[in-house]
Amino acid sequence: MTIPAKKSILDVKSGNIISQYSKDKIVLLGIYTSDNDLYPKEIEILLTPEDDNLAPISTIFPYNGSYLQLFIADFTGDNKSEIMVRGILEGIGDYKIAVVYKYENNKLIEIFDQGKFCEHNVYIANYFDDYKVFINYDTKKYSIDLSSRPREYLDQIYSPSGIVNVSDSPTVSDPSSVYPIKQVTNTYYNLMVQQKVIGLSDSDILGIIQTLVKLTGPKCENIYRGLLLFPHSNNNKRHSKQYKDNFIKNKPIIT
């Protein structure tokens, strides 16, 4: 294995990427422009097959970020491992990097990208009268009741009679967490994507949208989506518990 000049090793793993029983080496590389640089540039994935008859494969990674690391596991159910690169996205708050690659025909094929996930999962959120927030995705609608919030908070959005008096709307963030998770009965991993529902500021988190993504088919498939609420009263606490109970009916193992 030859490391390109000026590039630092960010992480190294081994796994059965090429075939079911191979032990291939995966190296994540990048260039630091200074000793204090937290965000390496020109990120590259270098896959070196155990079989010396196969040439190494290099793929340029599309994101810059910090705490970049590799996670090697079977995401497609074919008894081979895929390569997941994860970290924290550069310059956009505490949002996460998550890209998964599959080996195919001597290439690394991208099968999940958190940026493209957002492009295909678009939410529209709005404040409504009577202290409500509605979040629309396709034909589904989620609601959040803000009525238990402090009066000084509500006064920033509503009139004393509960009428919306702001032009701004809540937003749904880029992924704030992307977890590889595995059911006890599965041989492969899924991805749990979490996105914040943001109110008046980045620190005003109204809830979390959770999407369970399956990568075993020809394209990624959303098999579960739910809204996790943060309780602000006993009433909201009951709603929060309901969402959590729905989520853990088929409780995954997080590794």
Burial of residue 9 (number of CB atoms within 10 Å: 0-12, 13-18, 19+): exposed
Per-residue model confidence (pLDDT) at position 1:
56
For residue 210, the 8-state DSSP code is E
Please, which residues bridge with residue 86 across strands?
Answer: 69, 98
Strand ranges of the sheet holding 205-214, from the earlier edge strand across to the other edge: 221-229, 205-214, 190-198, 171-182, 253-254
Q: What are phi and psi of 115, to 5 degrees?
A: -70, -45
Strand ranges of the sheet holding 57-60, from the earlier edge strand across to the other edge: 8-15, 24-31, 41-48, 57-60
Let me know the angle formed at the C-alpha of 205 by 157 and 131, rounded to the nearest 5 degrees: 35
Q: Contact at 8 Å (CB) between 128 and 94?
A: no
Q: Give the tens place of pLDDT for each residue, 19-61.
A: 999 999 999 999 998 888 888 999 999 999 999 999 999 999 9
Distance CA 60, CA 91 (A): 20
Residue 38 CA to its chain's centroid (Å): 21
Tell me what the mean pLDDT of segment 81-108 comes to: 91
> 163 pLDDT exceeds 60?
yes
Mean residue pLDDT across the chain = 88
Can you give the length of the chain in residues?
A: 255
Per-residue model confidence (pLDDT) at position 245:
42
Q: Give the tens place of pLDDT for each residue, 212-254.
A: 999 998 889 999 999 998 766 544 444 444 434 443 333 333 3
Q: Contact at 8 Å (CB) between 181 and 190?
A: yes
Q: Give the tens place of pLDDT for each residue, 182-203.
A: 999 999 999 999 999 999 999 9
Tokens read off for 77: 């159910």
